[in-house]
Amino acid sequence: MLTCIHLNATMYPSANEGMTMNTCGQVKTPKEVKEEFIRKGLSVSEWAKAHGFNRGLVHAVLRGERSCLRGDSHKIAVLLGIKDGVIEDDDCVPCSAQSAQAGAQSTKNCAPL
């Protein structure tokens, strides 16, 4: 089982189960996110795998090659904290709810970086 890797966002799974918000109050630059990976001893590939994303897509988002308006690019940008936004997705499972859904088919882990 993959573990959650958190840096600076908060989960609000109240009435809207599976909703993730970047509420750290400050949007980070891709450079700051990369520095945070280094500080935490994580690779982009490890984070991508833990969150069910393609590592190439995560690298593309960090290089600014994606507009991050919708889909996985949007989710990645919000989870990394480089975009202020909301993720509403049935595949996103807050970390606290993962143990309750241990047998679930979903591979997405939408806990923030």
Residue 32 identity (one-letter amino acid): E
- The number of distinct structural domains making up the chain is 1
Which structural domain, as residue segments, surrounds residue 70? 1-8+27-113
Mean pLDDT of 1-5: 33
Coil, helix or strand at residue 26: coil
Residue-level pLDDT at 26: 86
Coil, helix or strand at residue 88: strand
Q: Residue 16 has which token pair?
A: 């809207």
Contact by Cβ (8 Å): 112, 20: yes
Q: Quick check: is 19 in a domain? A: no
What pLDDT, in 10s, does the model give residues 26-61?
899 999 999 999 999 999 999 999 999 999 999 999
